[in-house]
């Protein structure tokens, strides 16, 4: 009996041990992560370098099974973190624009740094299309915005142009994400009507954002 209890205790101890890749990234700020991974030298930010440095895989997925019975577009799963032993993987929906895919990955990296305590053995974190304006989802969005549009680059580029469309292009983020980031930094901007003709999908995102259907970042 004693031996069994000892073994169970040992197993329990093993289960609460944090996944190694998460241990490495936890509590790091977006700027610390970029510096550490050698990704703070150019834009668009290379998310692959972050994946490689921490050993967190990034995997495209259609989420067909997860979304099979979900008709509400805003309730659909578009990203997740899966933790299994010392493996951590980010799955992201590949049915949306590249910019949105990038933001989803950045959002999940944010959870890996900020919310590691929730990510124990076999933990799965889902990101849905609809996001709240508070709580951990909002925190992850702000973090993702800083990761993709870091201070080192945004101020110098903003001095050259205040057009949100061209800034969004430079950072490879959606127009909606760029507008939310500029709002967050209290930087005024304009949206050139000529430029927006080329980004119809992003116009949809922006209109949804203005109508309040999507959260501050998506
Ligand atoms: Zn999330």
pLDDT averages per 10-residue partition of the chain, 218 residues:
46 64 95 97 95 96 87 82 90 88 94 82 60 75 95 96 93 91 94 64 52 44
pLDDT of residue 213: 44
Ligand 1 centroid–CA 165 distance in Å is: 26
pLDDT of residue 107: 93
Ligand 1 centroid–CA 137 distance in Å is: 5
Ligand 1 centroid–CA 132 distance in Å is: 10
Q: What is the pTM of this model?
A: 0.81
Ligand 1 centroid–CA 128 distance in Å is: 7
pLDDT of residue 131: 54
Q: Closest by alpha carbon to 136, among 128, 34, 187, 173? A: 128
pLDDT of residue 135: 81
**Bridge partner residues of 92 (DSSP):** 60, 79
E strands, the chain, are 56-61, 77-84, 87-93, 124-128
SS3 state at 14? helix
Ligand 1 centroid–CA 139 distance in Å is: 9
pLDDT of residue 129: 56
Ligand 1 centroid–CA 3 distance in Å is: 41
Ligand 1 centroid–CA 127 distance in Å is: 4
pLDDT of residue 63: 87
Q: Which pair of structure tokens corresponds to residue 31?
A: 């700027």
pLDDT of residue 65: 87
**What is the secondary structure of the chain as a DSSP string?**
-HHHHHHHHHHHHHHHSPPHHHHHHTT--HHHHHHHHT--SSSS--HHHHHHHHTEEEEEE--HHHHTT---GGGSEEEEEEEETTEEEEEEESSS-HHHHHHHHHHHHHHHHH-GGG--TT-EEEEESS--SSHHHHHHHHHHHHHHS-HHHHHHHHHH--BHHHHHHHHT--HHHHHHHHHHTT---B--HHHHTT-HHHHHHHHHHHTTSS-S--
SS3 state at 192? coil
């Amino acid at each position: 009996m004693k031996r069994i209890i000892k073994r169970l205790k040992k197993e329990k101890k093993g289960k609460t041990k944090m996944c190694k890749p998460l241990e490495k990234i936890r509590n790091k700020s977006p700027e610390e992560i970029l510096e550490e991974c050698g990704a703070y030298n150019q834009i668009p930010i290379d998310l692959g370098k972050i994946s490689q440095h921490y050993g967190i895989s990034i995997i495209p997925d259609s989420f067909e099974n997860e979304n099979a019975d979900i008709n509400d577009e805003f309730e659909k799963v578009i990203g997740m973190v899966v933790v299994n032993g010392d493996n951590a993987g980010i799955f992201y929906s590949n049915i949306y624009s590249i910019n949105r895919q990038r933001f989803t990955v950045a959002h999940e990296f944010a959870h890996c740094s900020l919310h590691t305590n929730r990510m124990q053995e076999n933990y799965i974190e889902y990101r849905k299309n609809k996001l709240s304006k508070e709580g951990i989802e909002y925190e992850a969005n702000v973090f993702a915005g800083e990761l993709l549009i870091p201070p080192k680059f945004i101020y110098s580029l903003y001095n050259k142009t205040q057009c949100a469309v061209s800034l969004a292009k430079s950072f490879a983020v959606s127009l909606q994400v760029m507008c939310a980031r500029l709002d967050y930094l209290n930087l005024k901007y304009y949206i050139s009507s000529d430029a927006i003709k080329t980004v119809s999908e992003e116009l949809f995102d922006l209109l949804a954002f203005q109508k309040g259907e999507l959260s501050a970042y998506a």
